[in-house]
Structure 1
Amino acid sequence: MDRVEDLIQSLALQEHPEGGWYREVYRSDESIPLIGLPERFDGERAFCTSIYFLLSGEDFSAFHRIKQDELWHFHDGDRLTVHVIDRAGNYCEKKLGRNSEQGETFQQVVEAGDWFAASVPSGGYALVGCTVAPGFDFADFEMPSRDALQALYPQHSNIIKRLTR
């Protein structure tokens, strides 16, 4: 996968804890004070942050959630599927890509508090961007164990087994 290696090098990507590769490309200089944020936050946050995110081959982004909405933007490669389990326990797939006739779009949103993971077709790759507002902070990131997520959503056991570590 020469293209994947080229992207990792040229974009200076590093391994992400949830899987895949990333690099923060934007963090606003201004911040929202804690007093201006919903109670779920424990400190001030940048107005907005943005990253490049790359998945390839059999790698996946493991189920996790954050306290903010996250916008996903398709840039290059093959279809990327964002797997979402919402707060009510409903599962859906959001497809990013350039093939609208196959239900793919260039942009999708994952709502704050929803569990989500991502995958690409076997042997494929996808370069996307992720924008978070208020800005991302690892204090807002939660990645559960497979057992913990299956206890919450046993009806989605197959996808949870496939996309957790």
Structure 2
Amino acid sequence: MNAKEIIDFFDLKAHPEGGFYKETYRSKEIILSENLSHHFNGNRNYCTSIYFLLTSDKCSAFHKINQDEIWHFYTGTTLKLHQISPEGEYSTILIGNNFLKGEIPQYTVPAHYYFAAEILAKDSFAFVGCTVSPGFDFKDFVLPSSAELSKKFPKLTQIIAQLTHH
């Protein structure tokens, strides 16, 4: 299947960070806010997961959440994940199925890291799953502008400009 067929088949919707998504799981059980760290405002489900499809014509812009996020590769071409730690350390990881070239099929982005993703092959896509625990809530989602993120990490302005939408 091509990207459009997958988007249509799974009824994926545009995501604010870029790409397309659909929530596929939200646990029924709830973690009460008093049992969560101070980073959370309100209760959270134990766990959530989504399908996520990213095409080569637009990146998934730098953003962060309060939870660890596990990426699972399903199909398509290599996805390059960019990370900036809270201390400003920049790193990348290749998510895909070409294991002999250093790609891995599953990767966990630590909580509070800014991260972005791009597809390396022209006219291509990657179809992945993302699992978050405690469960995702848009209250935890931070999508900074290029100026905001560059002010915080001035040594990384070039990569930040490439992987932000505004």
Task: Give the TM-score normalised by structure 1.
Answer: 0.97
How far, CA to CA, are the matches of 1:140 and 1:45 in structure 2? 10
Match of 1:137 in 2: 137
1:77-132 CA distances to partner (integer Å, 9 max, x unpaired)? 00011100011111111111001121100001111100000000222200000000
Match of 1:65 in 2: 64
Letter in 1 for 2:23: E
Letter in 1 for 2:130: C
Letter in 2 for 1:87: P
Match of 2:157 in 1: 157
- DSSP-derived class of the 2:2 partner: helix
* 1:17 and 2:16 matched: yes
Identity of aligned residues (%): 45
Match of 2:48 in 1: 49
Find runs of 4+ consecutive structure 1 residues off by over 6 angstroms: none
Task: Please report the RMSD computed on the Cα atoms of aligned residues, expressed in angstroms.
Answer: 0.9
- DSSP-derived class of the 1:155 partner: helix
**Structure 1 unaligned regions, length at least 5:** none
How far, CA to CA, are the matches of 1:15 and 1:27 in structure 2? 19
- DSSP-derived class of the 1:123 partner: coil
Letter in 2 for 1:50: S
How far did residue 145 of structure 1 move?
Answer: 0.8
How far did residue 74 of structure 1 move?
Answer: 0.3
Match of 1:38 in 2: 37
- DSSP-derived class of the 1:42 partner: coil
